Each structure stands twice: as C-alpha cells, then as structure tokens.
Structure 1
Amino acid sequence: MGLKDLIQLKPKEPILKVSEDGFSEESRKRTYHEAGYRDSSRNMGNAQTLSVCLDAIYAKFENEEKELRHKQEELKKPYTQEQHSKESEIKGFQVAVDNAYESIKLKEDKNQEINDTIKELKFEITDLPQNPDVYGIPAKKGASAKFWIGLVVLAPITVYLFTFYASVVYSAMEKQFTYSDQRWYVPDAIVKASEDGFQALATVVFAPFIFIGLGYLIHMFYQKRKLSSYIKLVCVVLVTLAFDVLLAFFVEKKLWELNVVDENAKFGFAEAMQSQEFWLIIFLGFIAYLIWGFIFDFVMEEHKEKDKIKNAIRKRNEQIDIHREQIHDNRAKIDELKSLIMDLKEKISNAKGRIGELQRIIDGTIIPTKEYKLYASEYLQGWLTFINEKLTVSRSENDRIIAECLEINKLHLDTVGVREDYQNTVFTKTL
C-alpha cells in the first residue's frame, strides 16, 4: 500500500458562499442535508457526537446570518423603529417634565405673592382702626371709644325713661291719690299695676316704649338730612311734648280734685300751668326724652363709623380666607405635578432601559429560529439517512440510535431557544 493510500487527504467540504443577495432555500437545505450525512458517516452515526455537531451547525448558521446584512437589517427594523419610538417618547416625557417643573415654579412664586398679600392685609387689619383715611375709608378716628362712651351714657337714661314714664302713666291712669299718699312718682308702679290686673300692668309696662319709639324716630328722621325729614322731626318732638303735657295735666288734675274745696270750681290748663309739679313732670320727661333721642342718634352714627371699619376688616379677613384657599389649591396641584414628574421619570427610565435592550438586539445577530429549525431538521435527516442506509447494526440497535439522536436534537433545539409556541420569535446573540 502506497503512501497515497495510507494518507488520505480530508475531502474538501462544500463552502456555502453567502452574498448580499442571499441564496436559494433549496440549495441551502440540500447543503445542510449533505453536511448531516457526511458528519454522520465520519462518526458512524454516534448520538453523543451529534450534540457537538449540532452546536457547530448552529454556529455555522449564525455566521451565515451575520453575512446576510440586508436580511439582518429587515429583521432588526421593528426593533430600530421601536427604539426611535422610545426615543421620541423620552423627548415627549422630558418636555412634560420640564413643563411640570415650570408650572411648579410658577405656582410656588404665586404662593409667595399670595403670602405677601396676606401679610399686607393682616397689617391693614391692625392699622385700619387707627388710620382709616389712609385706606380710603371715610370713618372717624376713635369711633369705637365714642360709641362705647355714648352707649354707657344711654343705658342709664333708658332705664330712667322707662321707670319715669311707667310711674307717670300709672299715676295718671291707675293710681287713686289719698291725703296720705299724694306722690305722683311711684318707683314700684309695675308691682302696684300688677295688683290692679293685667290691663293695668300692660299699660304701665308698654307705655314707656311709646316714648322710646318716639326717641328712635328722632334718629331716623335726623340722619336723612332733608327738609321733609326735619319737618317730620319737629312733628315728632311736638307730639311727644303734647303727650307729656297730657300726662302731667291728668296727674295734676287728680291731685287738684283731691284737695279742692269749692265743688263748683273747674280745673283747666290755665290752672295746671300754675302748678310747679305740672312743669316738673314735663321737664323731667320731655327733656330726658330729647337727651335720649339725640344721644341715641349719636351712638348710631358712631356705630355706623365703627361699622365702616368693621366691614373693611371683615372684607380683608374674607380676602385672606380666599387667598389661603388659593394657596391650598396651588399646593395640592404642586403635589400632583410632583407625583406626575415621578411617574414620567419612571417612564423615562423604563424607556431608556428598553432602548438599551433594543440596542443590544440591534448590535447583536438576530437568529430566526423558525428558519434554523428547518435547516437543523435537514441536517438531522442527513444524519439519520446515513444510519438507516449505511450503518450495519441490528434493527433494535438502529432504532435505539435514532431515538437517542432525536432526543439529543430536541435538547439542542431547547438549548438554542427553539420552542413550538415561539416559532416566530427571534433571539439574539451579542457580537
């Protein structure tokens, strides 16, 4: 046997040249089938060797896919589009974040302005009673002090008017004078009237309010500052004077009738005017009535001045409440914007993470597993063809080897990511 017979050169394997235009599926399938047959013949169909050969076939398929640049670009196109979409999303999210930060700053600045306004309003509330004219309020300084002084003076005069007229009305209408009791002023007139019955009590109790009401009319007519009001005011004063004159007349008549000697004598206004008690009753009632009416008018005017300041303070307090509600609303919106910013940043982070994943896919090689399964099956068929046609073993041994080869092929497909339910899914392997 010659040297050429002893040393056999390894036959050249057909090299599958891959161009940008690719190659036909049939020729590629045939090449894998032939490679499976050839590798099986070299290894006598050994199932354990099949596992190594399949790994080599996968590496070969991967290299072929790398050279198919146009095909890789098509396979990567959805990922590239998704990457561009994510980048656009990030830009949109970033614009939204910037707008949210700007809105937060505007609302914080607005809250600062509102707080400054609240401080000014609080200062005005403190300063307004002392300097109302500074704030355009036509109110007198010290109106509150005058009001309280007038009210203190008015209270005892009111009590005096009530007790005086209650006493005079009781003496003029209910009391029976006697020689031992000729006093027209009765301090306990209400108690004595209650002993005479409900009608007497009601008359004595409510009659003083007639004079108090007439005094209130002095204020009502005097404040209008019109000629007609002044005429009405004079009429009210004259009516009150007439009322006082009548009460004094009836009281004095009762006293005259008690002390008269001549039964034919008559008592008239001429006789009443000659009595000191007549004039005393008029002046004690009528003058007190006028004083009460004018003091009441003064108190109401001062109260009006006080109300101007009080209303101005109330309006400022209402403005402070409104401003505080605005601050509360702005703070709530700021919290919402901060929460929105956190959500947007999380979305930006997730989008960047997805862009990184997509970039790794784009930088790597996309392996179309559906196609690889087709060519791996061709390779396995070539391998099994040699076993069935050329391997001389028993039928049972042949079946065992084939079953073992099928199991190894299944494990290989599982290892490289080929699944029955993921036939259209692509997997990546970084360069």
Structure 2
Amino acid sequence: MDTISIKNLFKLRSVPIEPPTQQPSTIEVEPNEESTEESRKRTYHESGYRDSSRTSGNHSTLSICLDAVYSKFQNEEKEMVEKQKKLKESYVNEQKNKETEIKALTVSQETKEENLKAKNIEIENHQHTIEALKTEIIDLPRNPEKYNVKATRGASTKFWIGVILLVPITLYLLTFYISTSYSAFFKSFDAKSTVIQSVLDAQAFSKAWNEGVIEGAFVTLIPFVFLGLGFLIHMFGENKTKANYIKLGLLFVVTFVFDSILAYEIESKLYELNKTFDSLPFNLKIAFTKIQFWGIIFAGFIVYIIWGVVFDFVMKEHKEKDKIKSEQEIRQKTVLSLTEKINVLKKEIEGILANIGNTKELIIKTKGRIEELQNIIDGVIIPTKDYKLYASEYVQGWVTFIGEKIAVSRTEKQTMIDSCIETYNTNLEAVGANSDNQNLVYLSSL
C-alpha cells in the first residue's frame, strides 16, 4: 500500500466549528501562517512515522501516543495567544451581552419589587379604611354629629315609640268613623238606644255591608279620608311656607266641618226620637247647646289632630333614621368597593410574585451561563477540526511506516492498519472530536 492511498484514508472534510451559543470569529490565515501550518502538519506526520518505527506499528502503543499527541496539541494551542483570542472573541461578546442582560433583569426585578411593595401598602391602607368604616357604621346611630351627619341621635328609639302610639290611635279612628258614619247616615234609632249606643255601634261594619255594597263601602272607606287628611298635614308641614300654612288651616276647617256634620246628623236623630209637641225644630243653635254634639266632634276631631301630629313626628323621625341608614349604606358600599379592590390587588400581587420568581430564575440561569463563558475564556479552546487534522497526520505517518517497513503479509498488514484506524477513532471519541460532534468546540480548562 503506497503513501498516497494511506493518506486518503484520513482525508477530512472541512466543517465549520459552531460553539454552544454562537459561532466564533473566523480566523484569517496569512501566507506565512499557511507555511507554518504545513510545517506543523509535516512535524506531526514525521512524529507518527518515527514513533511507529520505535514500536513496530503496535496499535496499543498508538493509543498512548495519541494521548500524548493531544496533550502536545493542547500546549501548542495554549501558546497561540492571538488565535485563542480570536477563538474566544464570540464568547467574550456573549458574556458582555449576558452581563448587560443581568443588569436589565436586575432593574426589572427591583421595579417589580417596588411595585409589589406599593401594592401591599395600598392593601394595608384599604384594610385600615375598611376597619374605620365598619366602626363608623356601628357608631353612627349613637353619634351622628361626630361624622357630620345632620340627624338626631337616638332617632330609632323615638321612631318606634311613635309607631307604637300611632297603631292604636289609627285603630281608634277606624272604629270611631265607621261607627259614627253608619249611625249618622244609615242607622235607625229607637227609644231604647243610649247616646253611646247611638254613636258607637259595635256591629256597624257588618250591618252596613248587610244593608248593601254602597253602605258597606262608604263606612269602610270614610276613615281613610281622615287618615289621608292627616297625611296631608304632614306633607304641608314639611315645607314651612305661607301657602302651606293656609292649606293646613283649610284642612283643619274641612275636618272640623265634616265632624260637625256627623255630630249634627246623629244629634238630630236623637233629638227627633226624644222631642215632644212643644219641642222646636232641630237646628244648629239647638245642636250647639247639646253636650253630646261637642263630644262627638272632639272625640273625632281632637283624636284626628293627635293622629296627624304623631304621624308627622313618626315621619320626621323616620327621615332622621333614613339619614343615618343612608350614611351607613354609603359606608357599606365603600367597604364592598374597597374589598373588591383588595381582591384585584391580591391577584396582581400573585402575578408580580410569579414574574419576580421567573426573573430571579432567569438571572440565576444567566449568571450560570456567564460562569460557563468565563470558564471557556479562562480555559483553552481546542478546535476540533484542527486536532483531527493534525492527529490524522500523525496516524498517517504511523500507518505509512507500517506500509513501508513492516515485513508481514498483506492481510496481516491490513489488520494492523485497521486496528490503528480503530484506535484513532476511539481517541477522537475520547477527546470529543468524533464525526458526530465535529461542529462543536472542545474545551479544556488548564
């Protein structure tokens, strides 16, 4: 086997070297560098030939020699300062970029932490406000003036006292006007009827409905006329104007006149029942002299005025109570609004915490990458293709000696060569320069 054919076994393809993250700068080869490279290749080739001659081409010895070749290649690459500088240039640039990225991530993390702190303070302020509002809600009925609420303290108690008084007075007016209206317009008196029985008939309601729908509806609804008049007294009394005072006076006059009519009708029936041949015809002059006439008027009219006054008092107290209740509702709505804001802020805080965690993790990864790059920069970069080139020259020299000087059969010689090639490939695997990884840069920290 001639030298040319043996060399063809180790002819390498030119493959670009790609570092882990970015490709290092291409090394420009000057003319004098080419002659240096050829001289270096020849040196490795001659060393292989010489070492093979010393060991009779033993492939086991070749493995040890290749380890020595790799160590020699490392030392040579280490001494090539400019070449190492160019090979490491991309790693230096990447390290600078990563350091800039660290600064940006740190600023971003600090900004997020400030934002987080501000949102926590905002939540605390909202919580303090909520506690203060809840205290105000409880204390408002007792001390409304403390919170600039123009309402009478204890309005709720007065309101319920007025309601308790208003209920029986209302029932009294219903009973009185049902009885008096029935007695005045529909009832027939007899000689056995007393004054009280004539005015207040316990069965007035049922008797009126038994006599007809018109009669029943009249005695049922007429009390509400007086209650409506009483309500108008409250309404006109709210706005203290001259016109309302006139209207209020007219209401009292109308009510008094209507009560007088009821009393006159009842007294007229009683007078007719008890009159004699000497009795004069019943008229207003006679009515004014009758005690029961005035009793009927005041039993209705005076109580009606009392009802109107109590109703007006209850409504005013209810208004005072509504002021406090309204202020309580306003505060309660504010509490709900602040609670919703707190929930929103808590969700935002969760997002910020997640982002801070991601940023910290990214910072740790970036710092780890910077350390890796620093190790690369501090170490020696062994170009894979260069080592394969010179190692192949060394093995070519080794195999050339076997082909030229070893006196054995062709078959045995081929077996020796195959063993040497296998040892060569094993060495490439061991140093990370096999064919599968020839696009990687093998690093050695020395």
Bucket of the pairwise TM-score, normalised by the shorter protein: 0.7 to 0.9
Deviation at 1:285, TM superposition (A): 1.0
Aligned equivalents of 1:102, 1:303: Cα separation in 2: 50
The Cα of 1:210 is off from its aligned counterpart by 1.1
- Whole-Å separation in 2 of the counterparts to 1:129 and 1:306: 8
Equivalent-residue separation in structure 2 for 1:250 and 1:373 (angstroms): 137
Conserved 8 A contact 1:214-1:236: yes
Q: Pick closer, same or farther for the CA change 1:75–1:173 going to 2, 3 Å.
A: farther
Distance 1:62 1:262 in 2: 157
Question: Which is worse superposed, 399-408 or 255-264?
Answer: 255-264
Q: Which amino acid aligns with 2:215?
A: A
The answer on 1:109 being equivalent to 2:106 is: no
Q: Which residue of 2 aligns with 1:49?
A: 61
CA shift, 1:256, in A, is 4.2
Evaluate the alpha carbon distance shift between residue 407 and residue 210 of structure 1 in structure 2; reply closer, same or farther with a 3 A threshold.
same
Structure 1 segment 265-280 matched on structure 2, within 5 A: 267-280=282-295
Deviations 1:60-100 (A, max 9, x none): 22122112212212222222222222222222222223223
Q: 1:210 aligns with which of 225, 228, 238?
A: 225
Contact 2:174 2:223 in 1 (8 A): yes
Q: Which amino acid aligns with 1:44?
A: S
State which of 385, 393, 408 in structure 2 corresponds to 1:378: 393
Instruction: Provide the C-alpha distance between the structure 1 equivalents of 2:388 and 2:259, rounded to a whole number of angstroms.
Output: 127
Structure 1 residues 264 and 129: CA distance shift in structure 2, 3 A: closer
| Distance in 2 of aligned mates of 1:314 and 1:92 | 49
Q: How many residues align?
A: 412
- Which residue in 2 is equivalent to 1:355? 370
8 Å contact kept, 1:37–1:383: yes
Task: Decide which of 20, 33, 40 is 1:28's aligned counterpart.
Answer: 40
Q: 1:315 aligns with which of 325, 330, 342?
A: 330
Change (3 A) 1:374 1:196: farther
Cα separation, partners in 2 of 1:186 and 1:60, compared to 1, 3 Å: same
After TM superposition, the structure 1 stretch with the greater mean CA deviation from structure 2, 22-31 or 52-61, is 22-31
Matches within 5 A, 1:14-413: 22-24=33-35, 25-181=37-193, 183-259=198-274, 267-413=282-428
Q: Shift of the alpha carbon at 1:260?
A: 5.2
CA displacement at 1:281 relative to structure 2:
1.8
Q: Deviation at 1:425?
A: 0.8
Q: Matched residues in 1 for 2:263 and 2:39: separation?
A: 143
Deviations, residues 374-419 of structure 1 (Å, cap 9, x unaligned): 2222222222222223322111111211211121111111111123
For residues 303 and 131 of structure 1, the distance between their equivalents in structure 2, rounded to whole angstroms, comes to 17
1:177 Cα deviation after fit:
2.9
Q: Secondary structure at the match of 2:198?
A: coil
CA distance in 1, matches of 2:311, 2:44: 120
CA apart distance, 1:271: 4.4
Give 1:178 shift: 3.3
Against the structure 1 CA distance between its residues 264 and 180, is the aligned structure 2 distance closer, same or farther, given a 3 Å change threshold?
closer
* Residues 209-236 of structure 1 deviation map (CA, whole Å, 9 limit, x = unaligned): 1111110000000111111111121222
**Taking structure 1 as reference, are residues 167 and 403 closer, same or farther at Cα in structure 2, changes over 3 Å only?**
same
Do the aligned residues in 2 keep the contact of 1:33 with 1:378 (CA within 8 Å)? yes
| Bigger mean CA deviation after superposition, 382-391 or 215-224 | 382-391
Q: Which moved more, 1:316-325 or 1:350-359?
A: 316-325
The aligned amino acid for 2:390 is Y
Q: Which residue of 1 aligns with 2:7?
A: none
Contact kept? 1:22, 1:68, Cα under 8 Å: no
Contact 1:167 1:186 in 2 (8 A): yes
**3-state SS, counterpart of residue 364 of structure 2:** helix
Given that 2:433 and 2:442 are in contact with CA atoms closer than 8 Å, whether structure 1 keeps it comes out as no
Distance verdict in 2 for CA 1:61–1:262, change over 3 Å: farther
Deviation at 1:103, TM superposition (A): 2.7
- How far 1:294 sits from its partner (Å)? 1.4
Give distance in 1, aligned partners of 2:258 and 2:243.
23
Pairwise CA distance, 1:261: 5.6
The answer (yes or no) to whether the contact 2:57–2:398 under 8 Å persists in 1 is: yes
Q: Distance in 2 between matches of 1:174 and 1:68?
A: 134
Shift of residue 428, structure 1, vs aligned partner:
0.9
Q: Note the residue ranges of structure 2 that are not aligned, 5 or more in a row.
A: 1-29
Q: Alpha-carbon deviations, 1:166-195, whole Å to 9, x = none?
A: 112222333333334452212333333343
Give the distance between the partners of 1:187 and 1:202, measured in 2 at CA.
17
TM-score, normalised to structure 2's length? 0.84
Query: Could you give the per-residue CA deviations for residues 305-348 of structure 1, whole angstroms, max 9, x where no partner exists?
Result: 22222222332233333333333433443343333333222222
Counting aligned pairs with the same residue, the percent is 50
Distance 2:186 2:435 in 1: 121
Partners of 1:34 and 1:403 in 2: CA distance: 20
Q: What is the alpha-carbon distance in structure 2 between the residues aligned to residue 88 and residue 190 of structure 1?
A: 98
Deviation digits for residues 4-28 of structure 1 (CA, Å, limit 9, x no counterpart): xxxxxxxxxxxxxxx9x85544333
**Secondary structure of 1:428's partner?**
strand
